[in-house]
């Protein structure tokens, strides 16, 4: 046991002291936050490019499109299409809009330009013409119905409905929930596990290949058993991954807290409760509608301590157990080959269940109680990812325990199998290894 602990310490310290580990640990949360902030800024950024569009209106509509802040529509009276086309160059028009005579029947118009128009311009033109035609049709219906207040009555029938999801606890206690949050958490956690299994599982494989190619392994196994060496390497790298993940959580939380304090001062559960009565956020001076306030209350109300602990506990277990299971397989592959190029033929059977688990997780998010969800969260090769998609929706205790038990048992079995491959493979050099050869190694009795 002491030898395994020494190997774990060596693997852990040799990796966490590297500059690449420190840079990746501290820069990744900042980089991710920067990317999301940039994406949000880009989505919220208005199109301020000034454009002039020539309009040939052959229909009976009167001014179906009107100039906006940055888009100007110039109506070309008594101008043929060919003459208007030349104006794209002479007058520098961005595009040429042609509204046909039968616009009410065809419900189609044409926008000409020498380059592809932006989606904002296309949407603006279509929206304005559609609204103009709908206004004419609505006025005609109101006139025929001889009810001047018909439009107000029809508008009053629009009733937005907010659906709140409530869960009953085992003790009958009512708890607020959110389907959207459950789906988001499930996808996020499953993707993190998928990423970490590949990232750190490959590190185990590369470490074994490096030690084998440098003949260091021949010296090491003279003092430790192959099983001890493999276990120490797997657990040591697992601790590196867990350390890095915890650092990311802490740093991300700090970045979010600082960002919230700067951009949304005074925004917490109590302030939102207070703001809901006056429809205004404190310290921001910006009015907020009731729907937005209700949504924020739903989000904050979902995260009670028991909910957070259940998700965090499930994530830590399946993160470690899933990593240990796959790392044993990666270590076996590394011990069977001489270089990383030869690993390709053995990587497909390992990576295929992980990729399949991601697709199963997408289906499970839509129907967490299906038979596919059950078997996907029970089979050990897919359960680390699929079960994490199900946990935020609620999983029966016996299913959770069965999944955990099978995953642990599978790790022990795969470790035993991988150790047999490791025992023979680490001393094999210069020989192309096949599945048939590995099967022979597994049948050796020694």
Beta strands in 119-198 (DSSP E): 165-168, 174-177
Q: Express each pLDDT in 26-62 by its tens digit.
A: 887 787 777 767 766 766 666 567 888 888 888 888 8
For strand 51-57 and strand 71-75, is the pairing parallel, antiparallel, or unpaired? parallel
Where does the pLDDT of residue 116 fall: very low under 50, low under 70, confident under 90, or very high at 90 and above? confident
Convert the pLDDT of each residue in 373-396 to its tens digit: 899 999 999 999 898 888 877 788
Question: Residue 96 pLDDT more than 60?
Answer: yes
The answer, yes or no, to whether residue 127 has pLDDT greater than 80, is yes
Residue 121 has pLDDT above 90, yes or no: no
Q: Has residue 278 got a pLDDT over 50?
A: no
pLDDT bin (cut points 50, 70, 90) of residue 235 is: confident
Type and span of the H or E element at 221: none
Q: Do residues 54 and 76 make contact, with C-beta atoms less than 8 angstroms apart?
A: yes
pLDDT band at 444 (very low <50, low <70, confident <90, very high): low
- What is the dihedral sign for C-alpha 330, 336, 338, 341? negative
Evaluate if residue 259 carries a pLDDT over 70: no
Per the DSSP assignment, residues forming a β-bridge with 53 are 73, 95
Structure tokens at 82: 């060919």
Question: pTM of the prediction?
Answer: 0.63
The answer to whether 241 and 197 are in contact (CB under 8 A) is no
- Residue 67: band (very low, low, confident or very high) from pLDDT cuts 50, 70, 90: confident
The 10s digit of each residue's pLDDT in 301-341 is 555 566 677 778 888 888 888 888 888 888 888 777 777 77
Q: What is the DSSP string of 50-87?
A: -EEEEEEE-SS-SS-S---SSEEEEE-TT--HHHHHHH
Lowest-pLDDT range of 352-356, 426-430, 436-440: 426-430
Residue percentage of the chain with pLDDT more than 90: 4
Q: Is the pLDDT of residue 443 over 80?
A: no
Residue 268 has pLDDT above 50, yes or no: no
| Whether residue 230 has pLDDT greater than 70 | yes
What is the residue-averaged pLDDT of the chain?
A: 76
Q: Would you place residue 403 in the very low, low, confident or very high pLDDT band (cuts 50, 70, 90)?
A: very high
Q: Strand 95-99 vs strand 51-57: parallel, antiparallel, or unpaired?
A: parallel
Assign 123 to helix, strand or coil.
helix
Q: pLDDT-based confidence at 406, cuts 50/70/90?
A: very high
Instruction: Report the range out of 42-46, 178-182, 205-209 with the highest average pLDDT.
Output: 205-209
Span 406-410, average pLDDT: 91
What backbone phi and psi angles, to 5 degrees, belong to 280?
-155, 135
Of 23, 26, 30, the closest CA to residue 255 belongs to 30
Q: Are 117 and 125 in contact (CB under 8 A)?
A: no
| Nearby residues of 235 by Cβ (< 8 Å), 6 or more positions away | 4, 8, 11, 324
Cα distance between residue 79 and residue 87, in whole Å: 10
Highest average pLDDT, of 18-27, 167-176, 282-291, comes from 18-27
Sign of the four-CA dihedral 281, 285, 286, 288: positive
Mean pLDDT score, 214-225: 68
Q: How many CA atoms lie within 13 A of 234 on its CB side?
A: 28
pLDDT at 375: 92
Q: Which residue has the higher pLDDT, 243 or 181?
A: 243
What local confidence, expressed as pLDDT, does residue 307 receive?
A: 67
């Amino acid at each position: 046991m002491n030898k395994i602990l020494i190997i774990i310490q060596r693997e852990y310290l040799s990796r966490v002291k590297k500059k690449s580990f420190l840079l990746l640990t501290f820069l990744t949360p900042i980089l991710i936050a920067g990317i999301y902030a940039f994406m949000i800024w880009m989505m919220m950024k208005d199109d301020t490019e000034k454009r002039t569009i020539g309009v040939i209106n052959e229909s009976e509509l009167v001014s179906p499109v009107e100039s906006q802040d940055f888009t100007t529509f110039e109506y070309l009276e008594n101008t043929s299409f060919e003459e208007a086309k030349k104006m794209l160059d002479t007058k520098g028009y961005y595009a040429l809009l042609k509204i046909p005579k039968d616009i009410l029947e065809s419900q189609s118009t044409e926008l000409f330009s020498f380059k592809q128009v932006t989606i904002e311009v296309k949407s603006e033109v279509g929206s304005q013409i559609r609204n103009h035609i709908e206004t004419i049709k609505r006025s005609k219906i109101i006139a025929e119905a001889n009810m001047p207040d018909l439009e107000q009555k029809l508008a009053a029938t629009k009733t937005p409905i907010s659906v709140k999801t409530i869960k009953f606890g085992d003790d009958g206690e009512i708890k607020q929930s959110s389907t959207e949050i459950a789906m988001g958490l499930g996808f996020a956690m499953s993707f993190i596990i998928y990423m970490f299994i590949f990232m750190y599982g490959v590190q185990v494989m590369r470490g074994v290949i490096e030690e084998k190619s440098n003949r260091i392994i021949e010296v090491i196994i003279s003092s430790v058993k192959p099983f001890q060496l493999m276990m120490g390497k797997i657990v040591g790298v697992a601790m590196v991954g867990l350390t890095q993940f915890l650092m990311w959580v802490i740093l991300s939380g700090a970045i979010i807290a600082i960002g919230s304090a700067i951009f949304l001062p005074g925004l917490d559960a109590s302030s939102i409760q207070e703001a809901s009565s006056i429809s205004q956020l404190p310290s921001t001076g910006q009015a907020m509608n009731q729907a937005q306030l209700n949504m924020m209350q739903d989000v904050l109300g979902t995260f009670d301590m028991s909910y957070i602990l259940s998700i965090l506990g499930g994530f830590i277990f399946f993160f470690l157990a899933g990593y240990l299971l796959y790392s044993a397989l990666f270590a076996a592959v590394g011990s069977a080959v001489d270089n990383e190029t030869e690993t390709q033929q053995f990587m497909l059977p390992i990576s295929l269940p992980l990729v399949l688990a991601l697709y199963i997780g997408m289906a499970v998010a839509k129907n967490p109680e299906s038979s596919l969800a059950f078997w996907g969260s029970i089979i050990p090769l897919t359960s680390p990812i699929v079960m994490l998609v199900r946990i935020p929706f609620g999983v029966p205790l016996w299913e959770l325990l069965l999944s955990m038990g099978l995953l642990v048992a599978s790790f022990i079995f795969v470790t035993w199998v991988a150790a047999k491959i490791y025992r023979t493979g680490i001393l094999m050099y210069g020989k192309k290894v096949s599945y048939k050869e590995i099967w022979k190694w597994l049948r050796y009795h020694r």
